[in-house]
Amino acid sequence: MGASKRPLHESPIAWRMPSNYKSVVDAPNTRPKCGVKDQPSPSPAAPLDNLPTLGGHERNEDGSLTGFVFGSKIYRDGESIVTSAVAQALDDQVVTESGSAYLLGVAAPQLPAPPLGPTTIAVVGNGDCGQLGFGPDLLEAEKPKRCPFFEGKRIVSVACGGMHTAAVGVDGLVWTWGCNDDGALGRAGDEDVPQLVAGGALASARVTAVACGDSVRVAIGEKGG
């Protein structure tokens, strides 16, 4: 008769997964899972300093985690994996149903503290589509130049697209300027000077971050919407 396996509850990190366990997001991740399915290594009883780290992790609806693994003997550092469902957890250590154990790394980057006083936006480069924000009379800046529109304002982030630009204020307001092809600015009016975006979904939203593509702009609200 072969030796029986040591029960999982004898693992030094074996605890029931708390019912209020939260990862990157409060709600389960509903997007399609991607990445390599995890394999059992090392064993749950392995020394903690030998456990791989799972960073940038999100919890999926089925209890599994999607994240980027580091320090594994099986996967490349930074490889995206999907674990089996988390069976037990304690602090920053988890054991999955497949027998894998991980240290949970940083779940999400922390947003910088908002500025206490006025900020300065400086722009440089080509602005033939108005993306510098100086109006029709200045379409190129060979050296960084202050954008006078934002003097006295507190700006927390700026995003640049192919031909347009956006800025987010500490109060959650969004300004856009540049080419408005396909409605990328999210507003009507002058394109070559910053103007407030106040319609649609942003009418009552407090924006915390914005990203720009070629002819698209995406904003994240304070409540994740």
- Chunked into runs of 10 residues, the chain (225 residues) has average pLDDT values of 39 35 34 50 50 83 86 84 87 85 70 74 90 89 91 90 91 91 90 88 79 79 58
How buried is residue 61: exposed, middle or buried, by Cβ count under 10 Å (0-12/13-18/19+)? Answer: exposed
DSSP code at position 144: E
Residue 217 pLDDT: 72
Residue 132 pLDDT: 92
Residue 200 pLDDT: 76
Q: Note whether 223 and 26 are within 8 A (CB).
A: no
Contacts of 39 (CB under 8 A, 6+ apart): 74, 98, 100
Residue 107 pLDDT: 58
Residue 50 pLDDT: 77
Q: Which two three-digit tokens encode residue 5? A: 């396996």
Q: What is the pTM of this model?
A: 0.51
Residue 145 pLDDT: 92
